[in-house]
């Protein structure tokens, strides 16, 4: 069980989700809006992994699912998590980790920064 929790905490996006639900419960849509560069499906998968590891509670409130951190289950890691969230260096590291873990097309560069490539002439035999 501890291994499942460690694996869930290994992903920087999941640690960021835990930060969002640490003090107050938040709906999945609110979490998605706070993580603007992630699809709702990806947020849902991360929330499922956190739930299966026993790190978040889920309650249905109308049409929404509200997630909150299970601090008693996170007690062995709470000091480390809270200290890292307050650290400015952590935020920089998180941004770098999230960018390196990012999937999909790279952001487009402006046209001005592109250099025009000339086609290579073909050799005839």
Total structural domains in the chain?
1
Residues spanned by the domain of 81: 2-101
Spatial separation of the C-alpha atoms in residues 90 and 83, rounded to whole Å: 9
Q: Tell me whether residue 118 is in a domain.
A: no
pLDDT in tens, the chain (125 residues): 788 888 888 888 898 899 899 889 999 999 999 987 889 999 999 999 999 998 999 999 999 999 999 988 888 887 778 777 777 677 777 778 777 776 666 556 666 555 556 666 677 66
**Ranges of H-type helices in the chain:** 2-10, 12-21, 28-34, 40-52, 75-86, 88-101
Q: Kindly list the strands in the beta sheet with 56-61, ordered across the sheet, starting from the edge strand earlier in the chain.
A: 26-27, 64-69, 56-61
pTM of the predicted protein model: 0.66
Spatial separation of the C-alpha atoms in residues 17 and 19, rounded to whole Å: 5
Spatial separation of the C-alpha atoms in residues 55 and 50, rounded to whole Å: 5
Let me know the angle formed at the C-alpha of 32 by 28 and 34, rounded to the nearest 5 degrees: 120
Q: Tell me whether residue 110 is in a domain.
A: no
Q: Tell me whether residue 119 is in a domain.
A: no
Give CA separation, 75 vs 21, 45, 98, in Å.
Answer: 15, 23, 25
Q: Tell me whether residue 117 is in a domain.
A: no
Rounded to the nearest angstrom, the gap between the alpha carbon of residue 11 and the centroid of all alpha carbons in its chain is 7
CATH of the domain at 42: 1.10.10.10
């Amino acid at each position: 069980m501890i291994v499942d929790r460690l694996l869930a905490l290994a992903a920087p996006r999941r640690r960021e989700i835990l930060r969002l639900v640490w003090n107050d419960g938040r709906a999945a849509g609110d979490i998605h809006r706070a993580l603007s560069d992630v699809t709702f499906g990806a947020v849902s998968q991360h929330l499922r992994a956190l739930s299966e590891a026993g790190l978040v509670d889920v309650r249905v409130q109308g049409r929404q699912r509200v997630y909150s951190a299970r601090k008693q289950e996170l007690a062995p890691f709470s000091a480390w998590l809270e200290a890292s969230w307050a650290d400015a260096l952590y935020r920089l590291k998180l941004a770098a980790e999230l960018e390196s873990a990012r999937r999909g097309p790279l952001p487009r560069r402006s046209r001005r920064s592109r250099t025009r490539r000339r086609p290579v002439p073909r050799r005839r035999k």
